[in-house]
Amino acid sequence: MNRVVLTIMPQGRALKAEPGTGLLENLRAILGEDFESPCGGAGLCGKCQVMIQCGEIWVSALACQTRVDRNMTVLLPDGSLGQEQILRQGAVSEKYALEPTIRKMLLDTVNRSKAGDGYRSQMDWLVDQVGKVGREKECDPGLARQLADLLQSGSAFITAVVYNDQIVSLEPGDTREILFGMAFDIGTTTLVGYLLNLNTGTRIATVSAMNPQRTYGADVISRVNHTNTLPDGLEQLTKAIRGGVERLIDQAAEMAGLRRTDIYELVFVGNTCMNHLFLGIHPAGLGQAPYKPVLRAPVCCLASSLGLTINSAGFVYWLPNVSGFIGSDTIGALLSNPVDQDETARLVVDIGTNGEMAIGVGGQIWACSTSAGPAFEGACIKNGMRAMPGAIDAVQVVGEDINYHIIGSYEPKGLCGSGLVDAVAGFLKTGVIDITGRFQSDNLTSWPETLKERVVPWQGSHAFILALQEGKGEPIMITQKDIRQVQLAKGAIAAGIEIIVKEAGLRLEEIGELYVAGAFGNYLDKHNMCAIGLLPLALENAIIPVGNAAGEGAVLALLSASARHEAFNIAGRVRYIELAGRSDFQDIFVEAMTFPASMSFDLL
Amino acid sequence: MNRVVLTIMPQGRALKAEPGTGLLENLRAILGEDFESPCGGAGLCGKCQVMIQCGEIWVSALACQTRVDRNMTVLLPDGSLGQEQILRQGAVSEKYALEPTIRKMLLDTVNRSKAGDGYRSQMDWLVDQVGKVGREKECDPGLARQLADLLQSGSAFITAVVYNDQIVSLEPGDTREILFGMAFDIGTTTLVGYLLNLNTGTRIATVSAMNPQRTYGADVISRVNHTNTLPDGLEQLTKAIRGGVERLIDQAAEMAGLRRTDIYELVFVGNTCMNHLFLGIHPAGLGQAPYKPVLRAPVCCLASSLGLTINSAGFVYWLPNVSGFIGSDTIGALLSNPVDQDETARLVVDIGTNGEMAIGVGGQIWACSTSAGPAFEGACIKNGMRAMPGAIDAVQVVGEDINYHIIGSYEPKGLCGSGLVDAVAGFLKTGVIDITGRFQSDNLTSWPETLKERVVPWQGSHAFILALQEGKGEPIMITQKDIRQVQLAKGAIAAGIEIIVKEAGLRLEEIGELYVAGAFGNYLDKHNMCAIGLLPLALENAIIPVGNAAGEGAVLALLSASARHEAFNIAGRVRYIELAGRSDFQDIFVEAMTFPASMSFDLL
């Protein structure tokens, strides 16, 4: 059999490998023992995580669990910059033990008949095994059918799949080792999925993709409009998002060498509109006052009932919504980052296409959301892209030089959200733009030559050339329109923060911690976030990046029934602030679109 | 449009009718006001019930609810003999009020939004309507989807379908009038179905058919063997019985002018083997000691999950089993005929292919079942047939004459169970057979001439000619083999009664009431039942015919949630006596096959 080519990035080294050999041993052969695997290749420690290129996207996988079965490009971790920049924490937090809602039990059928149990049916025996007492009030015949068939086939051992202490399925033999689940964050722009081993809590693969609904509109409102305009608009959007999730399941399963049927539960978070669209529930009410959702309760149903092809006994669980604009993604963020457990006020801001923010103190939580647009996710920006290999994710304006950092590559392909924030902060500091956001092209006399050259006319206005792309005609640039997108986005978030802090009866100075969440959260420069007015300067030192907090909440709910229960309780505690209904919101928003003036030249 | 022919039986009159006109008005045109309809054609009183021929079987229907839409043969009620002899009682008993498990509620969507309910979702509003409080712990998305679609379409009224206090479906507009259900008795040989209006408790149609599984074996054990022998044996039997039920649903709906989707629940009783085969559960355990069933609990599932096409939100409910040989049919009989409510001992005997008997006193119930064979249902008897038009259902031997009665017809087509019992009792009285059951052909000297002529040689033994069939070569006869079938059947039942009475610690004289159930129960001559030893002579005066007691129990469970709950409690109180495990059963059985000697010539 022909050998396959294994390409290792960012080093760019290629080697030939025997097909079917382990990725870990191949990497060790080149990199030596520096490539860590503390658990000895058992798939438990997660230290050998790498990114593997699958078509146009990158997925994360454990090298020790991956076989080199075809030509493969692997991206090694590079400090904080080596992977697709979606962050992960420990599998189960300090607060929650590993106790998934779905579990397996081994049953010994050989010794099941006991003397004196003449009144017991085979189902009574089965139900006894999960520790229930008394007679079953009602029974679904499907399970009895499975049990009869397995006993008939003479299986000595049966594995029961137990969900919420109910047996939901039976499998021949001992299949306890096979128990996987996925947690999903369904963003308006980005989908992220985590594949976990539910026996160990280990994260095996992380996959992400753009939300395929984007072709029907960039934000929540335009998608709601699509369902109102076209008779099959809802069906299109539902099909698109479920299809996107199906592809992520495929990719994750393939990377981990699993069958789809090895996956028993999918836990979801997302905003209320994504929740409704995914479930096929018409979201018309979200498009007009009083913005009432159809559904707030958590959803639990068979995955097959939604056309998702995991194990036939597999479930879908959605965390609860709070209101039309506060969805389960906010609940997920609050689950992974509790805010109201004591008298320290904590603010969590999740920066996505919708900016969600929640503030908590002493058992009370307030939340609101604003439509920020997808600028910080790299969408609707001329050279915008997600935080993945090739993206410029950090920019520094030092004197007359522009320095930037590219994720896992030497060739820039575009600009992700953190790079955009840095660049705009740099423009403000250097006076390339003024506090209204306008390019100061009329007033270039004081500029260093190298910066002057970068400002060029562009579609009736101006653009700033950030980097050249080798072999391509057009450079990577930031346009006047891009700046306006940033202003709209940061204005929406800043206005939301101002209002929610006021509603909670607090002053900014009273907030002890500010958790910044979102796919790019960890890589943002705290100072630049405050410099452009996205976050309040008063809280610069309180900022704690927490990564994809919503997705982490979904992971917790997948791994721990207690966490899932707590999510339900959190949803009951949240009071939402409806910004659309407020007379002061528009004023505050417009004001917040202006950049702060104070720092402009201090730091040049 | 051509007129259609309406044939009225037993009168044999035919008339032409306009297609689409009501059956009641056509009957009134011929019969005048003597044809009663006290409720004025509202379908409520059930007085205008007639039988209508559908292919080879007859189904009952209300004339006021039926249209003459094709050539049609109608059988008018003729005292107790006018209809297929499956009996019916009042819709809901004195004990149980009309409170079906499935019900409908009208919801006014226009006034649903109230001030200050900003935290309420549309689903919260819906759940409020059925009187629930608090937040829903989990929600199935299907219902939310329906609600969103109905609100989106602007329905001013929505009808909620509520099952066990859970909303299971929503319908546009006010559909409260449409709420029907069916109760089924799934016998080894005979299927009976009752169609009821769940708003009024009215019985609208009664349908019956042979169990299509008969081609795979006449009794329970041969069907179990079929599933053990052929790989697809279970599938064949399951398909056959579900198909039979589907056809009964079709016929009942057609007669009542309903759509299948107007039917929301099917409640079933049947023996444990029928229960398992219907549900597709392998019954192997029922074929060998310890005769353990897979399932005892009541079954509740969506009808669609079993491939039954009623309303898409419709349910199937099976009453519970007690053991491998005491099924929900016995529970049904005990529900419609309570036996243990006070210190009077009561015995219920259900005579079918399996003979089930239960005895109760002071809160205790004992039950057993014996394999009687299908003789009393007219199967495995040379000229046997069900109790339907054309069947000889009563026979008298008076001096040298044989008198008989034919159900709803002038031409005999065969002999049903009650006619068979009468005939055998007559043979015993006249000495045509002796107490061992053998034809006394060697000893005919004392016989009247007309009886002598009727005994003819037949297949190496003898047969008795009961009636001639006009235009057919062969007469209706009772063969020596038929007599043996009767002996096996009555021996099994008599032995069962003897053992269960002993197990309950009672003497026959202590039994206050003996309920005789079964499709033919009401038409049996009590004296003849005792004369052939089917029932104990000591209890002749305690005999109370109760008709299809099992089916009546299913009807009660369909109409009353309390009755359904009581069925569950009854199943918990029953102690079963396993006859297959008893050393004394065979002896008692063999002895009971002999006919009683005492009365033979007293009554000649």
Query: What single string gives the DSSP state of each residue in B40-61?
Result: -SSS-S-TTEEEEEETTEEEEE
> How confident is residue A521, by pLDDT bands cut at 50, 70 and 90?
very low
Q: What is the mean pLDDT of residues B404-409?
A: 78
**Residue B506 near residue B477 (C-beta atoms within 8 A):** no
User: What tokens were used for A433?
Assistant: 């733009």
What pLDDT sits at residue B84? 31
Question: With an 8 Å Cβ cutoff, are A293 and B122 in contact?
Answer: yes
Q: What is the mean pLDDT of residues A474-493?
A: 94
B578 touches chain A (CB under 8 A): yes
Q: What is the strand order of the sheet A364-371 is part of?
A: A543-547, A511-517, A345-351, A354-361, A364-371, A574-576
Cβ-Cβ contacts under 8 Å between A and B: the total is: 161
User: What tokens were used for A296?
Assistant: 């707030």
SS3 A123: helix
What pLDDT sits at residue B338? 95
Burial of A17 (0-12, 13-18, 19+ CB in 10 A): buried
Question: With an 8 Å Cβ cutoff, are A145 and B293 in contact?
Answer: no
**Residue A307 near residue A249 (C-beta atoms within 8 A):** no
What pLDDT sits at residue A598? 55
> Which residues, 6 or more positions from A61, have their beta carbon under 8 angstroms from its beta carbon?
A23, A49, A50, A51, A52, A204, A205, A255, A256
What pLDDT sits at residue A294? 93
> Which residues, 6 or more positions from A231, have their beta carbon under 8 angstroms from its beta carbon?
none
A287 touches chain B (CB under 8 A): no
Rounded Cα gap, residues B479 and B353, in angstroms: 20
Q: How far is CA A37 from CA A26, A50, A64, in A?
A: 13, 12, 8
Q: Which amino acid is at A581?
A: G
Q: Which residue has the tokens 């997660």?
A: A46
Rounded Cα gap, residues B351 and B555, in angstroms: 19
Rounded Cα gap, residues B473 and B467, in angstroms: 12
A290 touches chain B (CB under 8 A): yes
How, if at all, do strands B345-351 and B511-517 pair?
parallel
DSSP B94: S
Residue B114 has pLDDT above 80, yes or no: no
Q: What is the mean pLDDT of residues A506-531?
A: 85
Q: Which domains does chain B have, with CATH numbers?
A: 4-85+181-318 (3.30.420.480), 102-113+122-172 (no CATH), 347-373+486-593 (3.30.420.40), 376-482 (no CATH)
- Picking from A281, A304, A305 by the largest number of B CB atoms within 10 A of its own CB, the best residue to mutate is A281
- Picking from A121, A127, A266, A306 by the largest number of B CB atoms within 10 A of its own CB, the best residue to mutate is A121
Cβ neighbours of B153 (radius 10 Å): 9
SS3 A326: coil
Rounded Cα gap, residues A76 and A74, in angstroms: 6
Of B124, B137, B152, the CB nearest to A282: B152
A142 vs B contacts (CB less than 8 Å): 301, 305
A279 touches chain B (CB under 8 A): yes
How far, rounded to the nearest angstrom, does the alpha carbon of residue B350 sit from its chain's CA centroid?
A: 11
Query: Judged by CB atoms within 8 Å, which residues 199-228 of A form the interface with B?
Result: none
Q: Determine which helix (DSSP H) or strand (DSSP E) holds B36, and give its type and residue range.
A: none
- E strand map for A327-372: 345-351, 354-361, 364-371
A113 touches chain B (CB under 8 A): yes
Question: With an 8 Å Cβ cutoff, are B282 and A119 in contact?
Answer: no
User: What tokens were used for B366?
Assistant: 């004992």
Rounded Cα gap, residues A238 and A279, in angstroms: 7
Rounded to a whole number of angstroms, the distance from the CA of B228 to the nearest CA of chain A is 9
- Picking from A165, A294, A301, A578 by the largest number of B CB atoms within 10 A of its own CB, the best residue to mutate is A294
Rounded Cα gap, residues A440 and A427, in angstroms: 10
What pLDDT sits at residue B113? 60
Lowest mean pLDDT among A117-121, A123-127, A172-176, A286-290: A117-121
Residue A85 has pLDDT above 60, yes or no: no
Q: Report the interhelical angle of A328-336 vs A561-573 (nearest 10°).
A: 120
For A573, which residue in chain B has the nearest alpha carbon? B119
How, if at all, do strands A190-197 and A401-406 pair?
unpaired
Question: With an 8 Å Cβ cutoff, are B113 and A148 in contact?
Answer: no
What ranges in B291-416 are assigned the alpha helix state H? 328-336
Of B148, B295, B305, the CB nearest to A139: B295
Rounded Cα gap, residues A249 and A236, in angstroms: 20
DSSP B11: T
Rounded to a whole number of angstroms, the distance from the CA of A287 to the nearest CA of chain B is 12
Q: For residue range B224-241, what is the model confidence (pLDDT) as tens digits?
A: 999 999 999 999 999 999
Rounded Cα gap, residues A315 and A142, in angstroms: 16
For B234, which residue in chain A has the nearest alpha carbon? A149
Rounded to a whole number of angstroms, the distance from the CA of A290 to the nearest CA of chain B is 8
Rounded to a whole number of angstroms, the distance from the CA of A312 to the nearest CA of chain B is 14
Q: Which of A317, A290, A325 is nearest to B125 (CA)?
A: A290
Question: With an 8 Å Cβ cutoff, are A137 and B280 in contact?
Answer: no
SS3 A308: coil
As a 3-state breakdown, chain A gives helix, strand, coil percent values, each rounded to 5, of 35, 25, 40
B472 touches chain A (CB under 8 A): no
Lowest mean pLDDT among A117-131, A439-453, B247-261, B306-320: A439-453
Rounded Cα gap, residues B200 and B187, in angstroms: 27
Could you tell me the pTM of the whole model? Answer: 0.80
Query: Judged by CB atoms within 8 Å, which residues 129-158 of A form the interface with B?
Result: 135-142, 144-145, 147-149, 151-152
Instruction: Count how many residues are written for chain B.
Output: 604
B580 touches chain A (CB under 8 A): no
Question: With an 8 Å Cβ cutoff, are B285 and A151 in contact?
Answer: yes
Q: What is the mean pLDDT of residues A406-425?
A: 87
In this prediction, what percent of chain A has a pLDDT beyond 90? 52
Question: With an 8 Å Cβ cutoff, are A121 and B297 in contact?
Answer: yes
Q: Which of B514, B231, B485, B468 is nearest to B377 (CA)?
A: B485
B272 touches chain A (CB under 8 A): no
B139 vs A contacts (CB less than 8 Å): 295, 297-300
Rounded Cα gap, residues A279 and A316, in angstroms: 10
B452 touches chain A (CB under 8 A): no
Cα dihedral A57→A63→A66→A68 (10° resolution): 80
In this prediction, what percent of chain B has a pLDDT beyond 70? 88
Task: Return the bridge partners of A360, or none.
Answer: A346, A365
In this prediction, what percent of chain B has a pLDDT beyond 90? 52
Q: Determine which helix (DSSP H) or strand (DSSP E) holds A117, and give its type and residue range.
A: none
Q: For residue range B530-539, what is the model confidence (pLDDT) as tens digits?
A: 999 999 999 9
Q: Which residue has the tokens 């003479």?
A: A154
Rounded Cα gap, residues B174 and A344, in angstroms: 54
Q: Report the interhelical angle of A220-229 vs A272-279 (nearest 10°).
A: 40
ipTM of the complex, rounded to two decimals: 0.78
Rounded to a whole number of angstroms, the distance from the CA of B225 to the nearest CA of chain A is 13
Question: With an 8 Å Cβ cutoff, are B113 and A292 in contact?
Answer: yes
Query: Judged by CB atoms within 8 Å, which residues 301-340 of A form the interface with B?
Result: 301, 305-306, 321-323
Q: What is the mean pLDDT of residues A123-138?
A: 77
Rounded Cα gap, residues A495 and A590, in angstroms: 9
Residue B430 has pLDDT above 60, yes or no: yes
Radius of gyration for chain B, computed over Cα atoms and rounded to the nearest angstrom: 26
**For B420-443, b where at least 16 C-beta lie within 10 A, e where not — what string?**
bbbbbbbbbbbbbbbeebebbeee
SS3 B196: strand
Lowest mean pLDDT among A147-151, A479-483, A521-525, A560-564: A521-525
Lowest mean pLDDT among A228-232, B46-50, B377-381, B481-485: B46-50
Question: With an 8 Å Cβ cutoff, are A300 and B122 in contact?
Answer: no
**For B539-578, b where at least 16 C-beta lie within 10 A, e where not — what string?**
beebbebbbbbbbbbbbbbbbbbebbebbbebbeebbbbb
User: What tokens were used for B95?
Assistant: 């004990």
Question: With an 8 Å Cβ cutoff, are A139 and B293 in contact?
Answer: no
Question: With an 8 Å Cβ cutoff, are A294 and B144 in contact?
Answer: yes
B296 touches chain A (CB under 8 A): yes
Lowest mean pLDDT among A256-260, B97-101, B579-583: B579-583
**How many CA atoms lie less than 13 Å away from B536 in the CB half-sphere?**
21
